[in-house]
Amino acid sequence: MPLDSLKNKKICIIYGGWSEEREISLMSGQAVYDVLKSSDYEVFILDLKNNKQMLSEFVNNNSIDIIFNLIHGKGGEDGLVQSWIEDLKIDYVGSNSVSSSTSFSKITTKKIWAEHKLRTPDFITSTELLNYLCDDKDSNITELKTEINKKCEVFFENNHKFVFKPSCSGSSVGIKIYDDLNLLLNDKKDILSNNSSEYLIEAFINGSEYTAPIINGKVLPIIKIETKREFYNYEAKYLDDNTSFSFPEFSTEQELSIKEVCLKAFESLNCRGWGRVDFFIDKDINLIEINTIPGMTSHSLVPMSAKHLGMSYLQLVEELLINAEK
């Protein structure tokens, strides 16, 4: 879509939502709304609840042409809201419902990356861990249990420090690092006894943390993240003033290699539009996760990277909107 024609479109920012990341979403959505409003765009904003009809009525009553979904976390980033928008048959920014659902699961994401020969830290799932700890002698699952036991034994032999994290969550919510399995089991007893949610136990990578924003098939300047905390958690992301961000100077060859890996990681999940690929570098690039609806707050990394490239916040938002699709 040409930029000129964007001025004739009615744009709706949906934000808020009902996940643990609601407050961040409210800030992201308000920032995008404000910059469009001040630039004379016909823009609307909707604090969307878990209600498909609410979205449908708002879109129809205001003759909306394009939706910019900035709901982070469950509901907004896992394919649900995307499926609602798809039923409305209008253009929207970001990945479709299928790729959103796929990439929201860290476990599914890591399995797909492994299939594409992309390096990601070893892991076991909470289900596998429970099976490993269980003394069930059911002959029907003996072969499977043996396989799981072997996988878990190898994991704990090779990794004396590991990360416990929800498979489906964002903003580093619920992540904790352990160096002792018994500590993990005691600390997460209630969670592990409740099989309603899947978790993963991932090998700890002792390296520097980076993120690569991706906009419409192009990898923006890579950001190195350094925090005084044990890792880049929720507080480090949104509350701390001493978390530092820099644009490291890689060799031309290394930068091309990193960008190629990150773009392949993004495309292997059929993501589109925009996103952010998080990774560590020790000796190699270790992919961690993808964010298909990154933050757009004053602390957020995608606007920071775009600014380093010379793009204003408004130009970034416009670039995303003109590439919206059904």
Beta strands in 122-264 (DSSP E): 123-125, 162-166, 176-178, 199-203, 208-215, 218-219, 223-226, 244-246
Q: From CA 315, how far away is CA 307, in angstroms rounded?
A: 10
User: Which one is catalytic: 178, 289, 305, 318?
Assistant: 289
User: Which one is catalytic: 295, 300, 305, 318?
Assistant: 295
178 is known as an active-site residue: no
User: Which one is catalytic: 170, 210, 276, 286?
Assistant: 276
User: Which one is catalytic: 16, 17, 21, 91?
Assistant: 21
Q: Which of 55, 39, 56 is nearest to 47 (CA)?
A: 55
Residue type at position 131:
N
User: Which one is catalytic: 28, 286, 291, 305?
Assistant: 291
User: Which one is catalytic: 77, 78, 128, 278?
Assistant: 278
In the numeric block, which tokens belong to residue 88?
């409305």
Q: Which of 95, 98, 104 is nearest to 325 (CA)?
A: 95
295 is known as an active-site residue: yes
In the numeric block, which tokens belong to residue 57?
């009525």
278 is known as an active-site residue: yes
Q: From CA 177, how far away is CA 163, in angstroms rounded?
A: 4
Is there a contact between 175 and 163 (Cβ–Cβ < 8 Å)?
yes
- Burial (0-12, 13-18, 19+ Cβ within 10 Å), 93: buried
Per-residue burial over 272-305, b = 16 or more CB atoms within 10 Å of its CB, e = otherwise: bbbbbbbbbbeeebbbbbbbbbbbbbebbbbbbb
238 is known as an active-site residue: yes
171 is known as an active-site residue: yes
233 is known as an active-site residue: no
User: Which one is catalytic: 126, 171, 268, 286?
Assistant: 171
User: Which one is catalytic: 169, 238, 286, 300?
Assistant: 238
Beta strands in 133-273 (DSSP E): 162-166, 176-178, 199-203, 208-215, 218-219, 223-226, 244-246
By annotation, the residues acting in catalysis are 21, 171, 238, 276, 278, 289, 291, 295
